Chain A
């Protein structure tokens, strides 16, 4: 008799989710699905609102990466106003965005994932949390907490608020950066760099311990997508969309983000609110690709900052030019963080950063706009249509967790195949399914905004199609 095993909910990821594993008659895993059952409906809520409100509204999508939504949203409205932000405004946006990357990456690595790395995936659950880390490796915990705090402070000092900052507006940013705030942020750079480098050193020294996980946790070939700058280096704020295949070959010339719709399709599955995006030229479901820190490092030539580039070289030496295991998201996330800190320093040392011209103004000059940026979890796309007065008529959001949706499902299936034996669900397998999901650091609340359907139901089906059991939330 076929059997369905449900893991619900996956702890220690942002938002809610459910996983279903389908066994066949012989107790072999035949399918696995990662369900997203949350629904927030932002695309509907925003209809009829003034487009200038969109950044503030969009920032409410998520309390984890509000800045990323602010940035993508403000860029979409820039596009509707047909203006470029002033150079100072653009650089200030970059700094806040990177502050977000640092704090979110720190949360993911230190608070959510390091317990597994430190205590092993089968370690005592009571110990596998940040408090356990603090007891066993105080320096690691301190570094994580300090890094996250510094990232949050950047957002708070520059944006006015830590959770839903308000400084980022269409055309640039609302407030001028004072020298005092700039210096306060700069003063934290050395500690932030040191903390990240300590974490990288620790990770590298222990890497062999996770050899098994690295080969079984979402290790498969796929394409990767990220933004790159003119030189092909990492760009968290602007630039071009670049997509490479599993061997590192570009699948297209760098794409102007405004044309992303020509290349990216969105598929809807009945079992999830989360849309699955795919690379159009390859179709669904073959056009699977990944985004996020691992994709940023795989896609880019270099990071463009010296210390991160040094680490990137070692990273590639260890895991290959195009790392295929999702497990390496962790490692990549640390290098991504290192780059972000270096870049923040570079930007803040720019001569114009405290200049007065932080914002371009304009009216509604187009009826459609697209804004794309790199969020901590990957490429984020906002696409709006407005009427001639600037009232929102239509909104579409393509979000990192949606890009990664197919990859997450494939990773779960792979883990289930490897670790589920017979009809019993071992704790160790549970832990590994959770941790492979956590590699992607999915932020589910923001990505479940597309489908107008009712909440999810789980059916346990016999081989002849009879419903044996049903679970509803």
Chain B
């Protein structure tokens, strides 16, 4: 296996061929923010929060889907990138309706944590406040599109780990929604095995267990799915 050496934020690091910048950064304790990346499933580059600068190029690259190369010089943190990440995060909030105070994910939400880390204290752009559906048709789980950031973790975990491939994406732009089967209510899906993996990996309160105390923020800390680790090891990552 070829080993490459490169620099991330001025630090000399090394990784094997095929690894992403994100993986190498993680291994070296360098935190690059990202909401769609989840070890154990394939990266999709959906959230654009992990963008980094490479070797002075004006093009920003997503660290989770960019493979390392010999001699790369990566800037993962600077004022411009932070500003970019704040703006991207702000837009995630504005596209839908987030009311943390009464959200199941309050205090256990990756979007919320990220905003705190980035110092996103207020919104400058106008809110869109769209009318968005809530799907409570499934016996065990609920889907609140108001809180979905389209990270597509649910899509990937259902496909790659559970093998059921219930979720897909429909429409485009602001109308983009994840959908069950070919656009049926979740409760009517014939492919869903009710395993709950999507609920576990959702970074926000968009997917949740029904009937749990939805009193503000009582959702348990979601344990990292153990089988994701196993899968990860099998893939030799």
Residues of chain A at the chain B interface (Cβ within 8 Å) = 48-50, 52-53, 55-57, 59-60, 70, 164, 166-170, 174, 361-363, 389-391
Q: Does B34 belong to the interface (CB within 8 Å)?
A: no
- Please name 6 further chain A to chain B contacts, defined as beta carbons within 8 Å, in addition to the given A50-B210, A363-B139, sorted by A numbering: A52-B213, A169-B214, A174-B218, A363-B211, A389-B136, A391-B136
Are the CB atoms of A57 and B134 closer together than 8 Å?
A: no
Interchain nearest-CB distance for A151 vs B (Å): 20
Are the CB atoms of B213 and A174 closer together than 8 Å?
A: yes
Q: Does B230 belong to the interface (CB within 8 Å)?
A: no
Q: Does B72 belong to the interface (CB within 8 Å)?
A: no
Are the CB atoms of A167 and B215 closer together than 8 Å?
A: yes
Are the CB atoms of A174 and B215 closer together than 8 Å?
A: yes
The interface residues of chain B lying within 8 Å CB-to-CB of A60 are 101-102
Task: Select one of B134, B135, B216 contacting A164, CB under 8 A.
Answer: B216
The interface residues of chain B lying within 8 Å CB-to-CB of A389 are 135-137, 187
Complex alpha-carbon distance, A48 and B97, angstroms: 13
The interface residues of chain B lying within 8 Å CB-to-CB of A174 are 213, 215, 218
| Minimum-distance CB pairs A-B, first 8 | A389-B136, A169-B213, A166-B215, A52-B214, A174-B213, A56-B102, A56-B215, A56-B216
The interface residues of chain B lying within 8 Å CB-to-CB of A167 are 215
Task: Select one of B134, B135, B144, B215 contacting A168, CB under 8 A.
Answer: B215
Interchain nearest-CB distance for A285 vs B (Å): 37
The interface residues of chain A lying within 8 Å CB-to-CB of B214 are 50, 52-53, 56, 169
The interface residues of chain A lying within 8 Å CB-to-CB of B215 are 55-56, 70, 166-169, 174
Are the CB atoms of B218 and A49 closer together than 8 Å?
A: no
The A-B contact count (CB < 8 A) is: 58
Are the CB atoms of B216 and A166 closer together than 8 Å?
A: yes
Complex alpha-carbon distance, A472 and B136, angstroms: 44
The interface residues of chain B lying within 8 Å CB-to-CB of A53 are 102, 214
Task: Select one of A59, A362, A391 contacting B134, CB under 8 A.
Answer: A391
- Interchain residue pairs with CB less than 8 A apart (13): A50-B210, A52-B210, A52-B214, A53-B214, A56-B102, A56-B214, A164-B101, A166-B215, A167-B215, A168-B215, A170-B211, A389-B187, A390-B136
Interchain nearest-CB distance for A192 vs B (Å): 27
Which residues between 133 and 160 of chain B lie within 8 Å of chain A, taking CB atoms?
133-137, 139, 142, 144
Interface centre among A48, A168, A362 (most CB of B within 10 A): A48
Question: Beta-carbon contacts of B209-231 to A below 8 Å, as 1s and 0s?
Answer: 01111111110000000000000
Task: Select one of B101, B144, B218 contacting A50, CB under 8 A.
Answer: B144
Are the CB atoms of B134 and A166 closer together than 8 Å?
A: no
Interchain nearest-CB distance for B212 vs A (Å): 8
Query: Which chain B residue lies CB-closest to A164?
Result: B216
Interface centre among B214, B215, B218 (most CB of A within 10 A): B215
The interface residues of chain A lying within 8 Å CB-to-CB of B216 are 56, 59, 164, 166
Residues of chain B at the chain A interface (Cβ within 8 Å) = 101-102, 133-137, 139, 142, 144, 187, 210-218
Are the CB atoms of B213 and A50 closer together than 8 Å?
A: no
Interchain nearest-CB distance for B103 vs A (Å): 9
The interface residues of chain B lying within 8 Å CB-to-CB of A391 are 134, 136
Complex alpha-carbon distance, A53 and B134, angstroms: 12
The interface residues of chain B lying within 8 Å CB-to-CB of A170 are 211, 213
Complex alpha-carbon distance, A164 and B216, angstroms: 9
The interface residues of chain A lying within 8 Å CB-to-CB of B211 are 52, 170, 361-363
Interchain nearest-CB distance for B98 vs A (Å): 13
Complex alpha-carbon distance, A168 and B215, angstroms: 7
Are the CB atoms of B210 and A48 closer together than 8 Å?
A: no
Interchain nearest-CB distance for A60 vs B (Å): 6
Task: Select one of A48, A55, A166, A363 contacting B217, CB under 8 A.
Answer: A166
Are the CB atoms of A50 and B134 closer together than 8 Å?
A: yes
Are the CB atoms of B213 and A166 closer together than 8 Å?
A: yes
Interchain nearest-CB distance for B177 vs A (Å): 16
Complex alpha-carbon distance, A164 and B134, angstroms: 24
Complex alpha-carbon distance, A56 and B216, angstroms: 6
Task: Select one of B134, B187, B212 contacting A48, CB under 8 A.
Answer: B134
Complex alpha-carbon distance, A59 and B217, angstroms: 13
Complex alpha-carbon distance, A371 and B135, angstroms: 25
Interchain nearest-CB distance for A78 vs B (Å): 13
Complex alpha-carbon distance, A115 and B101, angstroms: 35
Complex alpha-carbon distance, A326 and B214, angstroms: 40
Complex alpha-carbon distance, A109 and B213, angstroms: 34
Query: Which chain A residue lies CB-closest to B208?
Result: A50
Query: Which chain A residue lies CB-closest to B133?
Result: A48
The interface residues of chain A lying within 8 Å CB-to-CB of B213 are 52, 166, 169-170, 174
Are the CB atoms of B142 and A50 closer together than 8 Å?
A: yes
Complex alpha-carbon distance, A312 and B134, angstroms: 51
Complex alpha-carbon distance, A70 and B215, angstroms: 9
Query: Which chain B residue lies CB-closest to A54?
Result: B214
Interchain nearest-CB distance for A161 vs B (Å): 8
The interface residues of chain B lying within 8 Å CB-to-CB of A50 are 134, 136, 142, 144, 210, 214
Interchain nearest-CB distance for A158 vs B (Å): 13
Interface centre among B135, B142, B211, B218 (most CB of A within 10 A): B211
Query: Which chain B residue lies CB-closest to A49?
Result: B134
The interface residues of chain A lying within 8 Å CB-to-CB of B134 are 48-50, 391
Interchain nearest-CB distance for B147 vs A (Å): 12
The interface residues of chain A lying within 8 Å CB-to-CB of B136 are 50, 389-391
Query: Which chain B residue lies CB-closest to A165?
Result: B215
Interchain nearest-CB distance for A359 vs B (Å): 8
The interface residues of chain A lying within 8 Å CB-to-CB of B133 are 48
The interface residues of chain A lying within 8 Å CB-to-CB of B102 are 53, 56-57, 60
Complex alpha-carbon distance, A52 and B136, angstroms: 11
Interface centre among B134, B213, B216 (most CB of A within 10 A): B213
Interface centre among B136, B139, B144 (most CB of A within 10 A): B136
Query: Which chain A residue lies CB-closest to B138?
Result: A389
The interface residues of chain A lying within 8 Å CB-to-CB of B135 are 389
Complex alpha-carbon distance, A50 and B211, angstroms: 10
Query: Which chain B residue lies CB-closest to A389?
Result: B136
Complex alpha-carbon distance, A49 and B218, angstroms: 17
Interface centre among A70, A174, A362 (most CB of B within 10 A): A174
Query: Which chain B residue lies CB-closest to A362?
Result: B211
Complex alpha-carbon distance, A391 and B136, angstroms: 7
Complex alpha-carbon distance, A389 and B142, angstroms: 10
Complex alpha-carbon distance, A394 and B153, angstroms: 34
The interface residues of chain B lying within 8 Å CB-to-CB of A57 are 102
